[in-house]
Amino acid sequence: MTRSHRQASIRLISDRPITPSNTSKNWELVQEFAKDVFTDSVMKRLLPSEAYSDLRRTIDEGVALNENTADSVANAMRSWAQERGATHYTHWFQPMTGCTAEKHDSFLEVSDGQAIIQFDGSQLVQGEPDASSFPSGGIRQTFEARGYTAWDPSSPAFLRRDTSGCTLCIPTAFCSYTGEALDEKTPLMRAGEALQRHAVSAAHLLGYDSVKRISTTVGCEQEYFLLDKQFYVQRPDLANAGRTLFGAPPLKGQELDDHYFGAIRKRVMGFMEELDRELWRLGVPSKTRHNEVAPSQFELAPIFESCNVAVDHNMLTMEVMRNVADRHGFACLLHEKPYAGVNGSGKHVNWSMSCKLRGNLLNPGSTPQDNISFLYHLAAVVAAVDTHAPLLRASIAHSGNDHRLGANEAPPAIISAYLGDQLTAVVEAIVTGNSLNENDGGLMHLGVEALPPLTKDPTDRNRTSPFAFTGNKFEFRAAGSSQSVAVVNTVLCTVVANALNEMNETLQAKVAGGLERNEAIFETIRETLYAHQKVIFKGDGYSDDWLKEAEARGLPNLRGTPDALPAWISDEAFAVFAKYKVLSRRELQARHEVACEKYNTHLTIEGRCSSHMVRTLYLPAILAFQRRVGDTIMSSKAAGLDVTALRAQSQLLERLAALYNRINNDCEAMEAGMVKAESIEHAADALVVFKAEVLDRQATLREGVDEAELLVEDRLWPLPKYHEMLVIY
Ligand code: ADP
Ligand code: MG
């Protein structure tokens, strides 16, 4: 019997040699950390001292860069890159596609027929890519189609290497001719500025007068799946939609919990080793690697960095993951739900605020004064999360993420904050004015002078909470694995800036009213926590009871992307983003438009893919099998066999015929749904229709196909099955 394409692949995969790793060089490789980065120390070494201090002022204090300094930096950067083999440079930016973009220019200029090398300050500082095809949500009309890229000196330039060349990448922001943000980076930087301003005011009000700058720190735990490329290329759904749209459950899923933190298979280890090495050269501080819950699912966690750099590094991590996987014969799946029935992938965004002088501001301190500062910032985050839950929800709204949120594997769509047992008790005591139980910290009569010593919470972390305080940072666990974390951080920085600003004003009013400063601070914390305690929840976020309780508490439950996206154009959003000059009304409307378009387009692609697969792969396979069974029955009859012995075959034939019809009808229904959804003019009006008529109908269509997969002869089944794809051979 001839082997199917699928079966031939399995054979090929099992015969694949494993690339031996060169462990003797590993330590040398660690020392190559950031070798391809134009780091601060490189700049210090290569720049004239005046230019270096000018540049530092630009980076640290946001002072505009003068032309001469820009020329010096450009010159140093170019010669550094050139020495390392770079022939080209690119402004590296993050349009609203969720991906990064680059357009390479060589350092080559021609003068009198002679090649000269040139790269000056103006080329470094500003670029003008003809980038009219990026989504702009209507901000850029074609007559003003040009977008500008502007150098972001706070994120270091780096070299990207591939087998044939080397390119200098300069992180940039991307805006329109009129200065409106066309990317994810610009609002992120504006939000960082807003937070910095109000956090510094808070520091001064709390008595830390010499604090000058406060920034946010971010560490993104990145989950992903690996899959053999041989399988990947055979699945049009994975290649085009990023997830499997069909597939019966695997024979063995995650029931045995034997993959989580299990020994890493050799072939995967080869991939991880090279991934780390490549990331280290790029200055990405990759730290932790392990197997995740689902079969063939893994995680990478870096050491946290300043927000802006962490966002860039996460984008880079995803790119490098894909490339290295490819070299190892894998496809790296970053979709939130590549396979139904096993866990999907998220990206935990660990978040805190910090300053040079005082370190991590969400670290419980050892003195009452430090603790009161800690509680002040904690209260601000709690207030921000409560007040702007819909915006946080919108920041992670995306068609892929809808498959995991609230599906007992990831936090629900209800945004709540978990503080741990000890801290919850402290908050309760502060809010109620009651004394604190001995076990919860030991001190009675909570007040300014008698805050309990707060230590890192020893209790088990609540994995079911979307926004958990984990000892010295918050962890936003609802972000999707494929998403840029720029948006989440833009929202977080803005809403925390707002909360700090409001608390600062309250505090100032109290002091002006004659209250002693520490009393005033404590009162401000108490009032803030009192007003926002409804968002604090320490129970099981996966339970049905929580759905009811959250409703009773008045917490919004925006289940899917169509429910969540309108928050971008709510009065609440217009007000808060305008107040802190992060996004104007027009920019928010544009972002909303882009997000709606993206959702509808993703669903359209899934619909098209499903229809193609059903009509050209699945239905023909079922038909072929029907024919085979039919032929068997016919030839048995012709041979004079007892017909009663053929009862099972006849029943199978009937089942197949019924399934064939059902799948065909369901496919037609979904196709009609697509036509209906696509005929709606405004993207925002089409969301709900796409969900009901395309996504939900696709799910029904899938049921029939998955049932057929369990009936049709293995050799005739055209696509790799879950139990094959989820195993790494
Ligand atoms: P876990 O036990 O959940 O793995 P870790 O303490 O190892 O938690 O941290 C997980 C992630 O959080 C890492 O990426 C880490 O760098 C990051 N992280 C730790 N401290 C901070 C902080 N102060 N600000 C931002 N991220 C942080
Ligand atoms: Mg985590």
Domain that holds residue 24: 1-30+222-345
Ligand nearest to the CA of 223: 2
Distance 474 CA to ligand 1 centre (A): 9
Q: Which residues of 37-69 are buried (b: 16+ CB within 10 A; e: fewer)?
A: bbbeebbeebbeeebbebbbebbeeeeebeeeb
Whether residues 23 and 43 fall in one domain: no
C-alpha to C-alpha distance for 189 and 281, rounded to whole angstroms? 25
- How many folded domains does the chain comprise? 3
Distance 222 CA to ligand 2 centre (A): 9
Q: Is residue 333 part of a domain?
A: yes
Q: Is residue 115 part of a domain?
A: yes
Q: Is residue 325 part of a domain?
A: yes
Whether residues 89 and 14 fall in one domain: no
Distance 223 CA to ligand 2 centre (A): 10
- What pLDDT sits at residue 446? 45
Atom number in ligand 1 closest to CA 354:
23
* Cβ of residue 295 lying under 6 Å from some atom of ligand 1: no
Of the candidates 575, 568, 572, 567, the residue with the CA atom closest to the CA atom of residue 591: 568
Q: Average pLDDT, whole number, for the chain?
A: 90
Question: Taking 60 as the threshold, does the pLDDT of residue 143 lie above it?
Answer: no
Average pLDDT of the residues in 208-227:
96
| DSSP at 462 | -
Distance 602 CA to ligand 2 centre (A): 28
Of the candidates 694, 597, 728, 573, the residue with the CA atom closest to the CA atom of residue 230: 728
Token couple for 309: 């750099």
Whether residues 46 and 20 fall in one domain: no
- pLDDT confidence of 423, banded at 50, 70, 90? confident
Whether residues 265 and 174 fall in one domain: no
Atom number in ligand 1 closest to CA 360:
23
Ligand nearest to the CA of 353: 1
Minimum mean pLDDT range among 9-23, 182-196, 594-608, 701-715: 9-23
Question: Taking 80 as the threshold, does the pLDDT of residue 406 lie above it?
Answer: no
Q: Is residue 371 part of a domain?
A: no
Distance 716 CA to ligand 2 centre (A): 43
Residue identifier of the C-alpha nearest atom 6 of ligand 1 = 470
Instruction: Determine how many CB atoms are found less than 10 A away from the CB of residue 132.
Output: 13
* Cβ of residue 360 lying under 6 Å from some atom of ligand 1: yes
Of the candidates 157, 124, 122, the residue with the CA atom closest to the CA atom of residue 43: 157
* Cβ of residue 480 lying under 6 Å from some atom of ligand 1: no
| Residue 56's CATH number | 3.10.20.70
Average pLDDT of the residues in 480-488:
97
- What pLDDT sits at residue 22? 62
Distance 677 CA to ligand 1 centre (A): 43
| Residue 19's CATH number | 3.30.590.10
Residue identifier of the C-alpha nearest atom 17 of ligand 1 = 219
Whether residues 164 and 79 fall in one domain: yes
Average pLDDT of the residues in 369-374:
84
Distance 291 CA to ligand 1 centre (A): 18
- What pLDDT sits at residue 2? 65
How far is the first Cα of the chain from the last one, in angstroms, to the nearest whole number?
Answer: 24
* Cβ of residue 343 lying under 6 Å from some atom of ligand 1: no
- What pLDDT sits at residue 259? 78
- What pLDDT sits at residue 458? 52
Ligand nearest to the CA of 307: 1
C-alpha to C-alpha distance for 628 and 288, rounded to whole angstroms? 52
Rg (CA), the chain: 29
Bridging pattern class, strands 88-92 and 165-176: parallel
- What pLDDT sits at residue 445? 40
Tell me the residue length of the chain: 729
- What pLDDT sits at residue 425? 86
| Residue 674's CATH number | 1.20.120.1560
* Cβ of residue 219 lying under 6 Å from some atom of ligand 1: yes
Distance 310 CA to ligand 1 centre (A): 12
Ligand nearest to the CA of 314: 1
* Cβ of residue 309 lying under 6 Å from some atom of ligand 1: no
- What pLDDT sits at residue 131? 66
Distances (CA, A) of 371 to 242, 383, 447: 46, 18, 12
Whether residues 18 and 83 fall in one domain: no
Q: Are 434 and 445 in contact (CB under 8 A)?
A: no
Mutation test of ligand 1: which of 260, 304, 461 has the most ligand atoms closer than 8 Å to its C-beta? Answer: 304
Whether residues 41 and 169 fall in one domain: yes
How does DSSP assign 332-364, residue by residue?
Answer: EE-SS-SSTTS---BEEEEEEEEETTTEETTS-
Q: Is residue 168 part of a domain?
A: yes
* Cβ of residue 473 lying under 6 Å from some atom of ligand 1: yes
Question: Taking 60 as the threshold, does the pLDDT of residue 212 lie above it?
Answer: yes
Residue identifier of the C-alpha nearest atom 1 of ligand 1 = 470
Distances (CA, A) of 119 to 54, 89, 160: 20, 9, 18
Atom number in ligand 1 closest to CA 303:
16
- What pLDDT sits at residue 371? 84
- Element holding 81 (H helix, E strand): helix 67-83
| Phi/psi at 126 (5° precision) | -135, 140
Ligand nearest to the CA of 351: 1
Mutation test of ligand 1: which of 261, 313, 350 has the most ligand atoms closer than 8 Å to its C-beta? Answer: 350
Residues near 590 by beta carbon (within 8 Å), at least 6 away in sequence = 136, 137, 138, 139, 180
Minimum mean pLDDT range among 69-83, 264-278, 428-442: 428-442
Say which residue, 256 or 276, is predicted with more confidence: 276
Token couple for 16: 């694949």
* Cβ of residue 304 lying under 6 Å from some atom of ligand 1: yes
Q: Is residue 284 part of a domain?
A: yes
Q: Are 687 and 561 in contact (CB under 8 A)?
A: yes
Ligand nearest to the CA of 461: 1
Atom number in ligand 1 closest to CA 304:
16
Whether residues 152 and 235 fall in one domain: no
Q: Is residue 567 part of a domain?
A: no
User: Percent of the chain scored above 70 by pLDDT?
Assistant: 93
Mutation test of ligand 1: which of 306, 348, 473, 475 has the most ligand atoms closer than 8 Å to its C-beta? Answer: 473
Whether residues 7 and 103 fall in one domain: no
Whether residues 39 and 25 fall in one domain: no
Minimum mean pLDDT range among 9-13, 573-577, 622-626: 9-13
Examine the fold and report which residue of 158, 183, 208 is the final residue of a domain before the chain moves on.
183
Atom number in ligand 1 closest to CA 475:
12
* Cβ of residue 301 lying under 6 Å from some atom of ligand 1: yes
Atom number in ligand 1 closest to CA 302:
14
Q: How many helices (H) and strands (E) does the chain have?
A: 25, 18
* Cβ of residue 472 lying under 6 Å from some atom of ligand 1: yes
Atom number in ligand 1 closest to CA 461:
3
Atom number in ligand 1 closest to CA 472:
23
Ligand nearest to the CA of 411: 2
pLDDT tens column, 38-60: 999 999 999 999 999 999 998 88
Minimum mean pLDDT range among 365-369, 456-460, 696-700: 456-460
* Single-letter residue type at 325: A
pLDDT tens column, 4-35: 777 788 878 877 776 666 666 667 777 889 99
- pLDDT confidence of 564, banded at 50, 70, 90? very high
* Cβ of residue 306 lying under 6 Å from some atom of ligand 1: no
Q: Are 226 and 728 in contact (CB under 8 A)?
A: yes
Question: Taking 80 as the threshold, does the pLDDT of residue 221 lie above it?
Answer: yes
Ligand nearest to the CA of 218: 1
Of the candidates 599, 608, 602, 611, the residue with the CA atom closest to the CA atom of residue 685: 599
* Cβ of residue 303 lying under 6 Å from some atom of ligand 1: yes
- Element holding 216 (H helix, E strand): strand 215-228
Atom number in ligand 1 closest to CA 218:
25
pLDDT tens column, 90-140: 999 999 988 999 889 999 989 888 988 889 999 999 888 766 778 888 887
Whether residues 93 and 4 fall in one domain: no
pLDDT tens column, 223-261: 999 999 999 999 999 999 999 999 999 988 777 777 788
Whether residues 326 and 238 fall in one domain: yes
Examine the fold and report which residue of 297, 315, 345 is the final residue of a domain before the chain moves on.
345
* Cβ of residue 350 lying under 6 Å from some atom of ligand 1: yes
Question: Taking 60 as the threshold, does the pLDDT of residue 204 lie above it?
Answer: yes
Distance 219 CA to ligand 1 centre (A): 6
Examine the fold and report which residue of 319, 345, 371 is the final residue of a domain before the chain moves on.
345
Highest mean pLDDT among 116-120, 219-223, 356-360: 219-223
Q: Is residue 153 part of a domain?
A: yes
Of the candidates 602, 398, 605, the residue with the CA atom closest to the CA atom of residue 485: 398
Atom number in ligand 1 closest to CA 363:
23
C-alpha to C-alpha distance for 694 and 608, rounded to whole angstroms? 10
* Cβ of residue 352 lying under 6 Å from some atom of ligand 1: yes
